Chain A
Amino acid sequence: MATIDLQNISMVYGLNGSSHTALDSVNVHISDGDFISLIGPSGCGKSTIIDIVSGLKKPSGGEVLLDNVPVTGPGTDRGTVFQDYSLFPWMSAFENIRFALEHTEGISGKERIDAEAKKYIDLVGLTNFANAYPNTLSGGMRQRVSIARMFSMDPKVFLMDEPFGALDSLNRIYMQDLLLHLWAQGEKRKTVLFVTHDVDEALLLSDRIAVMSPSPGRIKEVIDIPFARPRCRKTLAASREYIQLKSHLLSILYCEMLDDIEKQEQKLTGSESAA
């Protein structure tokens, strides 16, 4: 069992006297084995939610429960993949995975750790690049190492913050398929919290999509994605339900964006007239 409960999470930053509300009463329940995507325009607090669940940031109010236990700080029971800075540049691909394993509870013994690390390097098809440093790998390869590291640690839940956001579209397709393949492979599916701004990505991967709206960051709507797994990218994109869901999602996001642009314009004209 691995559930995540976000209870009444709020996040307020003090900015030279004035305060900025990044998150306002966010409530999400993620059941065991669920793949949930957070989607929304930039600045809506998606990444802040990941930071709070991973324990990097403390919320101003509310609580995160992992298996009904409050989160108090970072830990290896949550595996995290960031956009493009999860790996240590001074360690080779293999050493990065080994280092994470050395700090994971439940796995010990040098030989076992080395064997595990090698297994996951092979699994993502980087056998020939095990000793390469991240700076010499392509962006897609680096993310493969990050994902291999996350899977190797065998955490309770996966937290992914726009993991494919910096990749070109072909690489992104490959990585999405790889992630789904690895995720479906184990005896039991992990609970995943996945941040993205790509509607197609969210539709392909998720069981549910939480749409967020900015300033203050709130969950606007949670949408169930009913497609059966394993999903096929091609047939999915042509199905009527997919198109309806996509247009629904886009229209929410589009409204958000128009509102946001209007707000920005008002702010600018306001400050101009004040000047």
Chain B
Amino acid sequence: MTLSLKLSAEGYVVIAILIVTLLLAVAIPDAPSQVSPSGTTLFAGIIIFLLAAFVASLLYHPKEGQAVSDIFLIISLFVLSWEIAFGKLALLDPMLFPGPARVFAVFGNDYALILKGLVNSLGLLGAGYALALATAIPIGLYLGWKKRLFNAAYPIAKAISPIPPTAYLPYTIVLLPTFASASIFLIFIGAFWPILIGAVYGVHSIDHRLINSARTLGLSEKDMVKKVLFPGALPSIFSGAMIAFILSFITLTVAEMLAATSGLGWYIQYNHDFANYDKVVAGIIVVALVVIVLMYFFDRIQNYCLRWQTP
């Protein structure tokens, strides 16, 4: 594979903006309220990382060069304006709107706490979400397959499913012994319905002629569900699972803000109580990064599992 770097006009602009931001950060002193030497070093590191990431993306995805350039243009413009408006000029309330140096300083100081919170949050999310997948998919497949079961259960499911999972929060906290079990339950409830409805709808969307073709092979009930209904419903299950994932992440963050003593949601809420807005912003950035990374893997898994669909 030969790599060649082709830069469009936007590409040069991106690099120029990032270099200007880097020079601003390093050479020109921050507004007095925003000074943080360790943060400035980290921020400079981040800008250099962005530059490297931009060049690498262009090298490895030359076909999507336009999109890559446009995305990095937006990011770099955002970083530059953040640095000028809040870091250098402190245009708005300097406590509520910290500049990049102060926010990145938080990562240097609090990384252990943030990392621990991240592990905690992901553990709860993984447990609740996996539980929902393991129960909602088989139940949904049978609901979609058995007409009588469907007629009885689906209207009920449709009525219950829009209740926001956090509405159960007071009861779960009272009834379940620990915060972990309570939030796993809430995540499970939040993720369960979209996956269930995705599976039911997926079974219904399978061409009945294909099901007839499967029946001519004399499949057992178990094989029918496992080998035909499940893969046939998979595209729809994935759309349900995506909504479920977003919902469970929201549920988790809200639950942590209200009742936890660790985790990303707690970190944001706790520092809000002490008016440490640089830490709040740092927490929000971590949440955003986690969502981006998880979504990326979700897409990869989905594309692999549905590779048989028409390209």
Contacts and interface: CB of A to CB of B under 8 A. Distances in A.
A136 B213 contact: no
Contact of B218 (A74, A92, A134): A74
Interface residues of B, number: 22
B218 to A, nearest CB: 5
Contacts of A55: 215-216
Contacts of B232: 88, 90
Nearest to A83: B209
A86 interface: yes
A92 B308 CA distance: 8
B210 A133 contact: no
Classify the interface of chain B: helix, strand, loop or mixed: helix
A136 B209 contact: no
Given A88-B210, A89-B309, A135-B310, A56 B231 contact: no
Interface in B266-311: 307-311
B221 interface: no
Nearest to B210: A85
Contact of B213 (A78, A85, A133): A85
A126 B216 CA distance: 24
A181 B217 CA distance: 24
A76 B213 CA distance: 11
A56 B223 contact: no
A85 B308 contact: no
Interface string B217-238: 1110001000110011010000
B213 A135 contact: no
Contacts of B4: none
A75 interface: yes
B207 interface: yes
Given A85-B209, A89-B210, A103-B218, 6 more contacts: A73-B218, A78-B216, A79-B216, A88-B214, A103-B223, A133-B308
Interface of B: 207, 209-210, 212-219, 223, 227-228, 231-232, 234, 307-311
8 contacts: A56-B212, A74-B216, A88-B214, A90-B232, A103-B223, A134-B308, A135-B308, A135-B310
Interface of A: 51, 54-56, 73-76, 78-80, 82, 85-92, 99-100, 103-104, 133-136
